Structure 1
Amino acid sequence: MALSESEERILRAAGSDPSPVARQQAVGVTLAKHGDEAEASRALLTQSYLTHLSPSFHLVPRGDSMFDENAFTEAYSALVTGTENFTRVDAASLAAVLLECPAALAPLRMILGLTHNELAVAIRLHDPDSNLTGGSLKNLERSTAQEHRTAARQRIVGSIAGAVLAMMNRDLLTVPPRVTTHFHSKLDKGDTLDGWRSVREHTNGVPYSTLLFQRYVGGVWRQVQDAYSEVKGDAVLEIPLQDLLEAHGVPYHRTKRGATGAAETAARFGLKPGPDFIIPDDSPTLVVESKVAEDGGTARDKAARIRTLVTAANERGLRACALIDGKGWTERPNALCDVILATQGRTYTLATIDQILELPEIRALIVEA
């Protein structure tokens, strides 16, 4: 027996309907069906939500974890000046530059093509007594010169300078002979192919095609995307929800980023896994889990987490809803449908985030202006 016109109408409207009751009704229609009707119901229900999803791969995060172009240019200028346009590059000159302008570590890393963590590994290989980590290098890079006038900091910049010179001389992180047929070094690029001589030759500019090729092999904004990999999910969904709740005077608890934050929330509220939001923060009635997925595998994994959270919330007598976005959900429509069904239709996207205010648990908390 085919779906009735009224059932189809309910399913097609579910993802856009601000009414939680209407969304729950669409879930009820789907769960009551079997066989081909069930498949048809799931497809219509899922499609009604898919139309509100947007990719976020084109969004480049802003933040203070990386320099803007002007600050980077200033750091590069300090590196150029301190090495006399790369004609005097030795341990003493590099250490002096880093002491005077710690931010110069950023352009120095880019010459080598290394992240903070990768450079830290190289330093420890060159100096086994060093305990530098990627985090400590990042802190150094973002600090001021006044913070580095200590013997300890002089040792740090000395270790950095030594490792940088060893890599540029091809004495460190070399390509193993057995794999040279299939791999080459990160230094096998125009500006470092012949060490510092190549660097000097490129200081007056490079062809635009060279810039484009670097993007081709390295990815546009790759360093930014890596630096803000966790922040991006927060900025796309969590911060807009936080702003929405605060604008309407709704009290909430927001879980701190990372595993530690989730563990703290789980311990405080007796929910595992710890959800991103608990509303209100005192005597909660609602939990919200937000998940951005830009690939199908991530969507599948995030769906499993949301379903687990819904089960935990139900056991505590709490309602659960999901806030999702990203093209990954379009690649895993069955995972999306599982989330919709588990949350009783209380699944929202950035495009429909305002409809969360229609949830009775939140409406009861809104402070009218």
Structure 2
Amino acid sequence: MPKFPFEATLEEILKDSEQFVDAVFSCLESEFLIMPKGAGFVEYAVFERGYEALKAATRNFTEILPERVFPVTVDEPISIVVLRTMLGFTPPEWGYVATQRTGVEVSQGFIRSLDRKVRMAPETPLNINGVTKSRLEALIRTACQLLVEGVPEVRKDQIHRLDKADTKRGLESVRNLAGMGVPYAMLLYERFLGRPFAGHRDSVSELIGDSLESAIEETLSKAGISFRKTKRAEKIEGFDQAPDFIIPSEFNPQVIIEAKITEDDGTARDKVTRIQHLGELSLAGRSPDDPKYEVIACIGGRGFGVRREDMKKLLIATRGKVFTAKTLDHLVENTRLKEFRTK
């Protein structure tokens, strides 16, 4: 039975790196077809209620006027998400355009907070005291203008963001799609341009990584190992970017663990570079046989299974200490973590 890289010496890895790359590839798993819903996930039935409320308020999208749309966004806040989806904008993009068009400052912080608040409580009427009212009015006024105007003239080598089946010709396009079945080819084309679930995947990207981190936490806790799990963007002395886990603590780092999941090979390359940098930091002013701390990589996702050269770099940077969800049960016994085991 072939060895896993964490069971081999660095000399063995350097001598026959291909077999160890194959060993890691064989136990990589991808969950890109399944995503966590996460807090704030909007079910279709809720989204549809917002759509119907907006449709009724605008008389079947024949009168998309701020004075008609604003009240429904306050009483049925999920209609704000529906309106943004019609535009095809992210929350910050909508806020930026609204600021440009109306002169009312709609900050990214405000629009992100509003969007999350609506998704968390989609059918709870909004409190529009203070600046919320003027900013929401600016958003609604901008959306109505854009939907009525349709696509302006652009150069032949450009495409406008509103050049979509439901917004290309202003209200005519909206009414046509609201009153008939959407042409399937056009629906598929727009989906091709936008990627299904792209916005949702971006919003739950941290949760996707949490599954691997939770498994590592469980493994460490089960062995009674003291560890420090860092927070996103936390500053830790001695590291320009904090590793995910430090054992036993940031005051005496002896083992560090990076937990990385990616479905994209380009992103995987960036993550490999990050772990290589940690390997270099561990050797700063030290001999190769006496690193400051041991670097461990726990990885998942099909992105890591694309570039063989990147995996070789990862194996060398960690001296073979590369684990996947399938091999986490070997984590403690095959690393310096066993020195800190108390159970």
Corresponding residue number in structure 1 for 2:288: none
Q: State yes or no: 1:141 paired with 2:115.
A: yes
Task: Name the amino acid aligned to 1:219.
Answer: R
Supply the distance in 2 between the matched residues of 1:76 and 1:289 (Cα, whole angstroms): 43
Q: CA deviation at 1:303?
A: 1.7
**2:73 pairs with 1:101:** no
For residues 151-166 of structure 1, what are the structure 2 equivalents within 5 Å? 151-166=130-145
**Offset of residue 356 of structure 1:** 1.3
Distance change >3 Å, CA 319–CA 199, structure 1 → 2: same
Q: Which amino acid aligns with 1:13?
A: K
TM-score (normalised: structure 2): 0.84
1:255 matched to which residue of 2? Answer: 230
In structure 1, how many angstroms separate the alpha carbons of the residues matched to 2:113 and 2:170? Answer: 27
Alignment of 1:213 with 2:192, yes or no, is no
Count of aligned positions: 330
> Could you tell me which amino acid in structure 1 is paired with residue 116 of structure 2?
R
CA deviation map 1:241-288 (0-9, x unaligned): 23443455443222222xx32xx2x23xx3333211112337443110
Q: How does 1:99-138 map to 2 (within 5 A)?
A: 99-128=74-103, 130-138=104-112
5+ long unaligned stretches in structure 2: 285-290
CA pair 250-72 structure 1, distance change in 2 beyond 3 A: farther
- Which structure 2 residues correspond to residues 1-369 of structure 1 after superposition, within 5 A? 12-15=2-5, 20=6, 22-23=7-8, 25=9, 27-31=10-14, 38=15, 41-128=16-103, 130-143=104-117, 145=124, 147-170=126-149, 174-176=152-154, 179=155, 181-204=156-179, 206-207=181-182, 209=184, 210-232=186-208, 234-257=209-232, 260-261=233-234, 264=235, 266-267=236-237, 270-281=238-249, 283-315=252-284, 317-359=292-334, 361-366=336-341, 368=343
Inter-CA distance 106–332: structure 2 relative to 1 (3 Å threshold): same
Percent of pairs identical after alignment? 24
Q: Offset at 1:309? A: 0.8
**Partners in 2 of 1:363 and 1:75 — Cα distance?**
55
Contact 2:64 2:148 in 1 (8 A): no
1:349–1:360 CA distance, 2 compared to 1 (3 A) = closer
Other-structure match for 1:5: none
SS of the equivalent of 2:73 reads helix
TM-score scaled by length of structure 1? 0.78
Deviations 1:84-112 (A, max 9, x none): 43233211122212222332211101111
RMSD of aligned alpha carbons: 2.8
Partner SS state of residue 257, structure 2: strand
1:165-220 superposed Cα distances (whole Å, 9 cap, x missing partner):
2212338x8443xx1x2233333333223323432333355246143333233222
